[in-house]
Chain A
Amino acid sequence: MSESWHQLPPLPALSGSRGEESAAYDRGAILRSRGVLLRTFSVPERLGGLGLLVAAGAAVWPTLTERTGGALPCPLRTLTGVPCPACGLTTAAIALVRGEAGAAFGANPVIFGLAALAVAAGPLVALRATGVLKPPRPFSPAQRRRTGWLCGLLAVASWLFQLHRLGVSRSF
């Protein structure tokens, strides 16, 4: 990758000593240009936040679709007839916020992973903010690679589930 325009890491805007800056990085913090020390959220925290947004959306989504007649179809399935690994997540999310766990599992079990992160995100952020837990540290390249492979396998498993659920596998 040729990235010639940025040969240096971001320059801190705070005028603190290099030691403070290094310690801030070690605490998992980032230095922002407005002089405010902020911590960057970890990927599970971000996904948990997304899960909360999805839960809020799923709570109002049926009302919205009933009034407007709108929907959120899978573009891949609409175009080709083949579902994608994320198919069924809207149905699953709506079912889960209604407490219908069986229906949610039947639509797309991945929603339970998102729900787990959504439930964990709040306490995790709170425990880290209060210093009970250490702030998150970036994954090493190896950890990141491993997680990427795991997520890839999860996507393949989810895709097979959707192909089976929507009967595509039986047509071959």
Chain B
Amino acid sequence: MTYPPNNDPYGQNPPPQPYGAPQQPYGAPQPPYGAPQQPYGGPPPGQYGGQPPYGAPGYGTAPASAYASWIQRVGAYLIDGFVMAPFYILGVAIGRSTDSATGVTSVNAFFFISYLIGLVVFGYNRWFQAGKTGQSWGKKALGIRLVSEQTGQPIGAGMAFLRDLAHFVDGVICYVGYLFPLWDAKKQTLADKIVKTLVVS
């Protein structure tokens, strides 16, 4: 993978050629015909051509996006996890009973019902909500969004579900995959790379 990534939308890299930078002096050697015109990391030809200049009306209010930081993502993940906590606590509180004769603790139907409701709420939040709008409740609270790397749009419930399945890869290597946003150029986990998603702020 190259860094910065090609056409990186959220990269925090210096622009290739700021206005006011020294121009090619008169009389300087010209590149030969056939030589590459585009310097590495620069925008494709004509990219800026049709755009109004920076500072022009409209750009002042344009939202500037960036990759979400690791800590933001952790916060969102924790909030999404805590959403299930009441159901699990309820399950443990009312779903367990102890046999007075043997003293053995067993679980009853309330335990499984509470866990099932917790799973449904988790699925609605992490897969349906996050897939449809790009924001689970945790991401919404932290002001970050899950989008497709290719389209920039929310990825849909199915892909959001697959992404959570792909988190298995992040976990199986001692959870190091979850740390990838700390150093990755696009701040992606391995699951993000597998399903081609970005988390942006």
Once the chains bind, are A4 and B150 in contact (CB under 8 Å)?
yes
- CB neighbours (8 Å) of A43 from chain B are 182-183
Once the chains bind, are B18 and A19 in contact (CB under 8 Å)?
yes
Count contacts between A and B, CB distance < 8 Å. 136
Task: Give Cα distance in the complex from A87 to B11, angstroms.
Answer: 33
- CB neighbours (8 Å) of A86 from chain B are 173-176
A66 at the interface (CB under 8 A from B): no
Once the chains bind, are A1 and B64 in contact (CB under 8 Å)?
no
Task: Give Cα distance in the complex from A33 to B48, angstroms.
Answer: 21
B35 at the interface (CB under 8 A from A): no
Q: What is the distance, in angstroms, from A153's C-beta to the closest C-beta of chain B?
A: 16
* CB neighbors of A among B1-43 (8 A): 2-15, 18-21, 43
Q: Main secondary structure on chain B at its contact with chain A? A: loop
A144 at the interface (CB under 8 A from B): yes
Q: Which of A10-18, A55-63, A97-105, A126-134 contacts B (4 or more CB under 8 A)?
A: A10-18
- CB neighbours (8 Å) of B4 from chain A are 138, 141
Once the chains bind, are A8 and B43 in contact (CB under 8 Å)?
yes
One digit per residue, 1 when the CB lies within 8 angstroms of any chain B CB and 0 when it does not, for chain A 36-66 equals 0000100100110110000000000000000
Chain A: residues with Cβ within 8 Å of the partner, total of 47
Once the chains bind, are A144 and B185 in contact (CB under 8 Å)?
yes
- CB neighbours (8 Å) of A85 from chain B are 173-174, 176
Known: A13-B62, A17-B55, A18-B18. A6 touches B12 (CB 8 A): no
The 7 closest A-B pairs by CB, nearest first: A6-B9, A86-B174, A22-B18, A5-B152, A25-B14, A15-B60, A30-B12
Write the residues of chain A forming the contact surface with B, with a CB cutoff of 8 angstroms.
1-19, 21-22, 25-26, 30-33, 40, 43, 46-47, 49-50, 74-76, 79, 84-87, 89, 138-141, 144
Write the residues of chain B forming the contact surface with A, with a CB cutoff of 8 angstroms.
2-15, 18-21, 43-44, 47-48, 51, 53-55, 59-66, 70-71, 149-153, 171-176, 179, 182-183, 185
Q: List 27 A-B contacts (CB under 8 A).
A: A3-B6, A10-B9, A10-B11, A12-B64, A13-B62, A15-B55, A15-B60, A16-B55, A19-B19, A21-B54, A33-B64, A40-B12, A50-B70, A50-B179, A50-B182, A75-B174, A75-B175, A76-B173, A79-B172, A84-B174, A84-B176, A86-B176, A87-B174, A89-B174, A141-B2, A141-B4, A144-B185
